[in-house]
Structure 1
Amino acid sequence: MSTLVNAASRDALAATELQLLQATDGAAAAEITGLADELFGVAELLRREATLRRALADASTDPRTREDLARGLLADRLGGRALPVVVEAVRSRWSSAKDLISGLERLARTALLVQAERAGRLDAVEDELFRLGRIIGGQVDLERLLSDPTTSAEGKEAVVDQLIAGKVEEVTQSLVRQLVTHPQGRVSDGLEELAELSAKRRERSVAHVRSATPLSEEQQQRLASTLQRIYSRPIAIHLEVDPDLGGGLMVRVGDEIIDGSVVGRLQSLRRDLAD
């Protein structure tokens, strides 16, 4: 997945997300799935059609001109929920055509997460995305295959289905299938971003925790409560067991690292002795 770093594109995404929330209001699960599929489809169309992509993302033209073009080409292809979202997207000012495509894909993913949230399954989706990221990241050949943009999309989807079909939430499977179809870098990194996007839907931060030994559910809850007091906001725990730590925990929240591991303490001691 690609991150929107330009301020104009972030503003465009924020404006379009408001339209997306209106589009999902009162929608059944199947309708939200259809909305996401149609947004993914428009992103794929723009990826294939360079002339259309440039025309719809051209910030030098009048927004109404871009809107009329989108309506003329897509009104018969999109449902009543997807069309207003796409129209808002093309009326907005993106820094590049690539960001418009990334924005549409981000909106489609958000729609699926909204579906999981309303079904009370967002926690499960978040956990599955995180665990899949770790599994794929730990298998070099699998990571290389799924992250290769030149590999057949159908072939990668078949691999994903073999790996997770019937074992994860339908939303998780949809997100993973779409991610491997058009990977932007390492698939494992994309899955981690999706897990963090899931956490943000619940207005929580993500704490990436490495522990020398597995933590019980009670221990994870105590750790989350402690981190919540430290950061004054809810914290989602993503746990990875790493025996190489030698003992203790290493916690990363954003760019901040809390290292309570044996290895970390030894490294700190060596630095102190070297000073």
Structure 2
Amino acid sequence: MNGASREALAAARERLDALTDSTSVDAGALADELAAVTALLDRERSLRRVLTDPAQPAEAKADLAHRLFGDKVSGPAVDLVAGMVRSRWSQPRDLADALEELANLADLTAAQKAGRLDDVEDELFRFGRIVSSNPELRAALTDPEADASAKVELLHRLLGGRADKTTERLVTRLVTAPAGRSLEAGLESLSKLAAERRDRMVAVVTSAVPLSDSQKQRLGAALAKLYGRKMHLNLDVDPNVVGGMRVQVGDEVINGSIADRLEDVARRMAD
């Protein structure tokens, strides 16, 4: 998102945080309600245009949101949507995308409150690895002609009882409403949102052999000092990785052995 939409999303995320901080608001239920509004806006392009039309008064758009959704979702949900349509958006599509992000954040907040956020982060990463290594599964989940209910059933067989309910909910929404993204890009976005809940970054670490607990702690601490943020490590093993280890943080890729990289971090900190 650019310009006005980025500012509108930031404001909406602050309002969501304020809502979910309240013990009276069920973050998981709020996520379902925001996802339902997102689904409607995904289908109704004309409604997106009306709710983001800069020529219309902000309060008129908010009143319309209350009339449309007031008897379908809870008060906190409709107030959040009304606040969003009062804001300016660079393009109509951004409103639906922002609502989808808020739904995902609400689900992740529910997992965090339950002490399950770490599990959800790990499960999203593992599911992404399973999909990337199984072309048939990926094809079944991304086939635009396949029935959505069949995809939901497939995901339930894969994840039901094996993964946290939040993980299953997030992946199911992603698969049934991809919004033009690849499955891999959607999973990566979810992982980043999960990391943001703890104010930390994600490092994807691929090593030739499994790392010991000591190595993981040292690497996590070194990367945190290098990037100035807490770091969540998503770990994978590939005997063919060049240099013993590959670390990706955002768009930056670091190749080389653990010892070499840690020494480089130490040198940087000493400069």
Q: By the TM > 0.5 criterion, same fold?
A: yes
Asked if 1:103 corresponds to 2:98, the answer is yes
Question: Which residue number corresponds to residue 121 of structure 1?
Answer: 116
Counterpart of 1:257 in structure 2 is: 253
Alignment of 1:68-87 (within 5 A): 68-87=63-82
- Give the whole-Å Cα distance in 2 for the aligned partners of 1:51 and 1:223: 50
The amino acid across from 2:92 in the alignment is A
Q: Aligned residue for 1:269?
A: none
What's the CA shift for 1:28? 5.7
Tell me, in whole angstroms, the C-alpha distance in 1 between the residues paired with 2:104 and 2:227: 28
Paired letter, 2:68: L
Encode CA deviations 1:197-221: one digit per residue, 9 max, x unaligned: 1011111111111101111233211
Deviation at 1:27, TM superposition (A): 3.4
Does 1:172 pair with 2:167? yes
Task: Report the count of equivalent residues.
Answer: 257
Which residue pairs with 2:238 in the alignment?
A: 242
Superposed displacement of residue 194, structure 1: 0.6
* Structure 1 consecutive aligned stretches of length 4 or more whose deviation exceeds 3 Å: none
1:143-162 alignment, distance < 5 Å: 143-162=138-157
Q: Give 3-state SS (helix, strand or coil) of 1:244's partner.
A: coil
* Aligned residue number for residue 216 of structure 1: 212
8 Å Cα contact 2:195-2:202 kept in structure 1: yes
CA contact (8 A) 1:129 1:195 kept: yes
- Partners of 2:242 and 2:255 within 8 A in 1: no
**2:197 match:** 201
- Rounded to whole Å, the distance in 2 between the matches of 1:197 and 1:246 is 29
Deviations 1:28-70 (A, max 9, x none): 68x2221111101011111222322221121221111111111
Q: Provide the C-alpha distance between the structure 2 equivalents of 1:235 and 1:50, rounded to a whole number of angstroms.
A: 39
* Amino acid corresponding to residue 146 of structure 1 in structure 2: L
Q: Quick check: 10-19 or 47-56, which moved more?
A: 47-56
Alpha carbons of 1:51 and 1:230: their partners in 2 closer, same or farther (altered >3 Å)? closer
Deviation per CA, 1:62-92, whole angstroms, max 9, x where unpaired? Answer: 1111111111111111102211111111111
Task: Provide the residue aligned with 1:272 in structure 2.
Answer: none
- Unaligned runs of 5+ residues in structure 2 are 259-271
Matches of 2:81 and 2:19 in 1, distance apart?
11
Q: Which amino acid aligns with 2:189?
A: E
Q: Percent identity?
A: 46
- Secondary structure of the residue that 1:94 maps to in structure 2? coil
TM superposition score normalised by structure 1: 0.88
Contact 1:213 1:247 in 2 (8 A): no
Asked whether 1:190 is paired with 2:186, we answer: yes
Instruction: Determine if contact 2:152/2:172 at 8 Å carries over to the other structure.
Output: yes
Counterpart residue number, 1:266: none
Gaps spanning 5+ residues in structure 1: where?
263-275
The residue aligned with 1:60 is 55
Quote the Cα distance in structure 2 between the aligned partners of 1:133 and 1:102.
21
State the Cα distance separating 1:186 from its structure 2 match. 2.0
